[in-house]
Amino acid sequence: MITAYIGIGGNLGDRADTLRKAVAVLDGEDEVRMVAVSGVYETAPIGVTDQPSFLNAVLQVETSLSGPALLNRLLEIERQFGRYRKKKWGPRTLDLDILLYGEEVIQVPGLQVPHPYLHERAFVLVPLCELLPCGRHPVLGKQFTDFLAQLDSDQGVRRVGGLSLWAHQ
């Protein structure tokens, strides 16, 4: 089993309900075991800014799936929730990204792990540091908390109190 960290987010429809349901689907997978779920954060959009705010979190899972197989399953779950990748950084019902897959570095068509923007995005680093406070980027070697400390504090990440995505927490 490999420990993987998955970013989850969305900014269309009932965001919290969609994320909760997506976590439940992933938790029900035979080859995936949910270990922990970070708090939920409301975040400003990046790239295409003329769209609603996102809800984001990070999931820690153990999986027997390979990195590419896990990605394929995540893409299936996105489609199940009405996500079709049309516009880069555009609005979406659900976004599931493999952030880390053990200590592995994966470079195959359609999948780059660690996620190429992981160290640049507060909406990923804040919840990731919650689950992996001493974690280190497997390529760049720095702790995730160091990357977070270097980011512009105006990236608009605000914890949503009282909202949990996983029934087992």
Which residues are tagged catalytic? Answer: 83, 92, 95, 97
DSSP-derived 3-state class of residue 169: coil
Coil vs helix vs strand at 133: coil
CB 70 within 8 A of CB 99: no
Q: Phi and psi (nearest 5°) for 49?
A: -90, -10
100 Cβ contact partners less than 8 Å away, ≥ 6 residues apart = 3, 4, 5, 113, 114, 115, 118, 135, 138
- Tokens at 117, concatenated: 């923007």
